[in-house]
């Protein structure tokens, strides 16, 4: 088989959740001896910042790749526009550049690890599309007319991609059922569930200014990540615990409201914002936190609680959407997700009576086995064979 992998959704690195997904899948294919059949199609920016820097010792070194360049017209547009330039580049690469390359290369299959807004026209070859969530169906409402129009465009394009795919891979059974519910034209036998693989390095690096005795939350500052309930719970506990609260994640629509709450409750000396740190520094946080809390309201998969548990952290998470499935009932839970009093009580309980270290080691080993990269890669390869065979 000749398999083309569309990585045009990645700009400079693989640090995002969807970036980690494909990086680990490619490593799993390498471990299984199947990487020779794969060619990745990447933006020039990803090639310069990531592909070129892969060391010789890495299993991905030398992976077959094709660099998709935007041309002089879009160079001109990007120099004069910000968001519009990025949008126009992605549209041009997906709809004009990649289809020609696929046709010329004689590929048997196009694999799209992320169901982005403008997936590529396949030029007649079958596609396998990974759906990480149907967020636009479940957790978006209101906003400006412009934002509502954009969401409508996202819904139309992403669901069009799902309907035309030869096979759809859902990253959890929760997502699979969501597709069946919201896109009934897609036959259930065309949708299979393959959990993401999760691998973590043991490498750590301390962070200046962060001392032990802290509670950790790792996620971007989006409304559905529900940081506000965690902050309210922390405020309830402020005089009963000595800990600081560390919020690791990128700024988004919820950032200002979180800062406003912290200012109002005079928590500035107890809450630390972090972003743009290395994986080794994140691992240090996982290994040294007294408790990681994941209060999210919506996850298609939910990597962070498992990742933290694999490095020995004690984890408390909500029971929202896919989280109980993906964490396999191995962690600590609270519900309802938006009840700060329940969350505060569970945090206090776990800090007073921590999960024994031996039990956490057993959980870490269980997750390492369940989410091995080669296991997921072989399941994906079987899906590719089924599609090409048809």
- Domain contains 203: no
Asked if residue 286 and residue 162 are part of one domain, the reply reads: no
Pairing of strands 65-68, 38-43: parallel
Residues above pLDDT 70, as percent of the chain: 92
Which pLDDT score, from 0 to 100, does residue 142 have? 60
Beta bridge partners of 43: 68
17-21, 123-127, 274-278 — most confident range: 274-278
Asked if residue 364 and residue 381 are part of one domain, the reply reads: no
CATH number at residue 75: 3.40.50.2000
Domain that holds residue 180: 3-197+372-389
- Domain contains 34: yes
pLDDT exceeds 60 at position 66: yes
Angle in degrees, 0-180, between the axes of helices 83-92 and 72-80, rounded to the nearest 10: 160
User: How many whole angstroms separate alpha carbon 160 and alpha carbon 143?
Assistant: 24
pLDDT exceeds 60 at position 82: no
Asked if residue 268 and residue 133 are part of one domain, the reply reads: no
Residues above pLDDT 90, as percent of the chain: 78
Asked if residue 57 and residue 34 are part of one domain, the reply reads: yes
pLDDT in tens, 302-357: 999 999 999 999 999 999 999 999 999 999 999 999 999 999 999 999 999 999 99
What confidence tier does 153 reach under pLDDT thresholds 50, 70, 90?
A: confident
- Mean pLDDT computed over every residue of the chain: 92
- Please state the pTM of the whole predicted model: 0.92
pLDDT exceeds 70 at position 84: no
Q: Are 169 and 129 in contact (CB under 8 A)?
A: yes
Which pLDDT score, from 0 to 100, does residue 11 have? 87
Asked if residue 76 and residue 189 are part of one domain, the reply reads: yes
User: How many whole angstroms separate alpha carbon 8 and alpha carbon 92?
Assistant: 11
Residue 263 vs residue 151, higher pLDDT: 263
- Residue 2, CA atoms < 13 Å, CB-side half-sphere: 11
* Sign for the pseudo-dihedral over CA of 22, 126, 169, 364: negative
Q: Are 290 and 234 in contact (CB under 8 A)?
A: no
Mean pLDDT of 154-163: 85
- φ/ψ (deg, to 5) at 43: -70, 155
Which pLDDT score, from 0 to 100, does residue 35 have? 95
Which pLDDT score, from 0 to 100, does residue 231 have? 98
pLDDT in tens, 220-249: 999 999 999 999 999 999 999 999 999 999
- Domain contains 362: yes
- For the chain, the first-to-last Cα distance in angstroms comes to 13
Which pLDDT score, from 0 to 100, does residue 77 have? 61
Q: Are 273 and 209 in contact (CB under 8 A)?
A: no
**What tokens does 305 get?**
């609680």
Mean pLDDT of 36-53: 94
Asked if residue 149 and residue 254 are part of one domain, the reply reads: no
**What tokens does 78 get?**
């990007």
Which pLDDT score, from 0 to 100, does residue 80 have? 62
How many Å separate Cα 388 from the centre of its chain? 28
- Domain contains 202: no
What b/e readout covers 36-64, taking b as 16+ CB neighbours within 10 angstroms?
Answer: eebbbbbbebbbeebbeeeeeeeebeebe
What confidence tier does 71 reach under pLDDT thresholds 50, 70, 90?
A: low
User: How many whole angstroms separate alpha carbon 373 and alpha carbon 25?
Assistant: 6
Which pLDDT score, from 0 to 100, does residue 116 have? 77
Residues whose CB falls within 8 Å of the CB of residue 151, separated by 6 or more in sequence, listed in order: 136, 140, 143
- Choice among 93-107, 205-219, 274-288 with the minimum mean pLDDT: 93-107
pLDDT exceeds 60 at position 92: yes
Query: Coil, helix or strand for 361?
Result: helix
Total domains in the chain come to: 2
What confidence tier does 105 reach under pLDDT thresholds 50, 70, 90?
A: very high
Which pLDDT score, from 0 to 100, does residue 135 have? 85
Q: Count of CB atoms within 10 A of residue 311's CB?
A: 21
Angle at 121 between CA 33 and CA 52, to 5 degrees: 45
Alpha-carbon Rg for the chain, nearest whole angstrom, is: 22
Mean pLDDT of 127-141: 85
Which pLDDT score, from 0 to 100, does residue 241 have? 97
Which pLDDT score, from 0 to 100, does residue 120 have? 61
Q: Are 99 and 123 in contact (CB under 8 A)?
A: yes
């Amino acid at each position: 088989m000749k398999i083309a992998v569309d990585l045009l959704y990645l700009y400079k690195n693989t640090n995002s959740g969807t970036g980690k997904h494909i990086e680990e899948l490619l490593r799993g294919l390498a471990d299984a001896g199947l990487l020779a059949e794969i060619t990745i199609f990447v933006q020039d920016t990803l090639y310069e910042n990531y592909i070129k820097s892969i060391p010789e010792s890495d299993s991905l070194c030398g992976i077959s790749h094709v660099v998709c360049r935007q041309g002089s017209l879009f160079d001109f547009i990007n120099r004069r526009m910000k968001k519009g330039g990025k949008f126009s580049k992605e549209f041009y690469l997906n709809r004009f550049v990649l289809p020609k390359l696929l046709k010329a290369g004689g590929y048997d299959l196009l694999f799209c690890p992320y169901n982005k807004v403008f997936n590529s026209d396949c030029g007649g070859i079958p596609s396998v599309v990974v759906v990480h969530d149907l967020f636009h169906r479940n957790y978006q409402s209101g906003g400006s007319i412009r934002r509502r129009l954009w969401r409508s465009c996202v819904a139309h394009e992403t669901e069009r991609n799902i309907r035309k795919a030869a096979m759809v891979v859902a990253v959890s059974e929760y997502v699979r059922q969501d597709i069946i519910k919201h896109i009934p034209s897609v036959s259930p036998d065309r949708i299979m569930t393959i959990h993401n693989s999760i691998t973590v390095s043991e490498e750590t690096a301390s962070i200046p200014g962060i001392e032990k005795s802290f509670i950790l939350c790792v996620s971007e500052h989006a409304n559905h990540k529900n940081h506000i309930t965690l902050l309210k719970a922390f405020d309830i506990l402020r005089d009963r615990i000595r800990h600081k609260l560390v919020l690791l994640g990128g700024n988004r629509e919820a950032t200002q409201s979180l800062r406003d709450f912290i200012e109002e409750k005079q928590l500035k000396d107890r809450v630390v914002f972090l972003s743009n740190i290395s994986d080794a520094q994140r691992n240090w946080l996982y290994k040294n936190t007294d408790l990681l809390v994941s209060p999210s309201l919506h996850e298609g998969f939910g990597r962070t609680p498992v990742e933290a548990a694999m490095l020995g952290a004690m984890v408390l998470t909500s029971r929202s959407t896919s989280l109980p499935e993906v964490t396999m009932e191995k962690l600590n839970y609270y519900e309802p997700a938006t009840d700060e009093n329940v969350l505060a009580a569970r945090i206090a309980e776990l800090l007073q009576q921590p999960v024994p270290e031996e039990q956490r080691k057993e959980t870490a080993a269980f997750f390492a086995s369940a989410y091995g990269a080669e296991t997921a890669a072989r399941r994906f390869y079987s899906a590719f064979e089924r599609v090409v065979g048809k």
